[in-house]
Amino acid sequence: MNIMAMELTRAAAAVAALGSSSAQFSTLTDAQVLAARGPIADLLRLSNTAAALLAGTIAHRSRPELGQSGLAARHGFSTPTLMVQDATGLSRMEAGRLLAVGVLMNET
């Protein structure tokens, strides 16, 4: 398992242990609430990183020179942004930003 996968697993387990309802969260002590901020922030950061990496891969596999054989086109999307938007539920602008970050990550 790679480092990112291990960190995601750790953060997800820590967040899951907090509970899954407002009733469960309301029973947390102040110290537990304060401590929960770290794992939740980690999970968000790591999830966003994975989403950007995936968006960059979608962009690469949907390059204009691939035409209709590109990933997005083969699955009925006119652009990779629309494919990312559909997959994530983000707005078109947010999906475009995620795609741009993913492309930059792939280039570095």
| pLDDT in the model for residue 1 | 73
DSSP readout, 60-76? HHT-GGGGGGSHHHHTT
Task: State how far the Cα of 68 lies from the Cα of 5, in Å rounded to an integer.
Answer: 33
Q: Considering the entire predicted model, what is its pTM?
A: 0.86
Averaged pLDDT of the chain: 96
What's the pLDDT band for 105 if we cut at 50, 70, 90?
Answer: very high
Q: For residue 35, is pLDDT > 80?
A: yes
Q: For residue 84, is pLDDT > 90?
A: yes
| pLDDT in the model for residue 108 | 85
Contact between 73 and 91 under an 8 Å Cβ cutoff? The reply is no
| pLDDT in the model for residue 86 | 96
